[in-house]
Every structure is written in structure tokens, then in C-alpha cells.
Amino acid sequence: MIENVRLDCYLWAIRMFKSRSLASAAIKNNKVKLNNELVKASRKVKIGDTYTISFSGGIKKIIEVTALIENRQSYEIALKHYLDKSPPAEKIEKLESLFFIPNIKRDKGTGRPTKKDKRDIDTLFGH
């Protein structure tokens, strides 16, 4: 029975991060919290602990430790060592970029657009 497992090793073993160094970096950058308190990578994981992990893109995972694991195993085995309490992911609406204007087809051989052409394009897109 495993009793002492470091937090960074545990998060790597349950496949939350691709490498242990990425797990350590996330903990160091305050992306992992235990009961809304910052933790260190060397913290010993205990059964019943609830961790909140923040990923890029605003994704948050809330996991509860159900069993300890030290080495990385298959996904099916890793699932048995934690309970995912994350709320269902909300679909984020993607806003249209203000800097992106779709390409406008021009006839081949007509050359670069003139100032008048550029003004027409701007009025077409409401600028």
C-alpha cells in the first residue's frame, strides 16, 4: 500500500498532465489548489483531498482523491484513483476577430487595389 505520494507525481500518474515537470510548473504557477489554498509540488497527497486544477482556456477540473497511485498507468486504471467532480463544460462562444477580414477575390492581373477600392472594401465591411 502506497502512503506517501507527492502531488506533482500524483497528478502526472492520474494523467492530468503529460509530464511530471508540467505538473510541477502548474503547481508553481498557482494553477492547482487544495480547498482554495495554494500548495507546493512536494505536498503529500491524502485520500479525500479535493484539488481544483485550472487549465488554459478557462477549463477547471475538480478532483477528489479516492486512492493513491505513484506510477503512470493506463487511463482506465488512473480513473479508479480519483473522482471527477467538475461541472459540465460550457461551450464558449467564439467571437469574430476584429483584426481578421476575409480575403476578397480579385481578378488575376488587376493589380493591387487602389485607394477607391480600399474605401469600397471598408464600406462593405462597415469600417
Note down pLDDT in tens along the chain; length 127 residues: 778 899 999 999 999 999 999 999 999 999 999 988 999 999 999 999 999 999 887 889 999 999 999 999 999 999 999 999 988 876 666 666 666 656 667 778 888 888 998 898 888 877 7
pLDDT for 83: 95
User: Which residues contact residue 3 at a Cβ distance below 8 angstroms, ignoring those fewer than 6 apart?
Assistant: 68
Backbone angles phi, psi at 80, to 5 degrees: -75, -10
Residue 40's alpha-carbon distances to 6, 8, 28, in angstroms, are 9, 9, 7
pLDDT for 22: 94
Sheet holding 82-84, edge to edge: 37-38, 32-34, 50-54, 60-65, 82-84
pLDDT for 102: 62
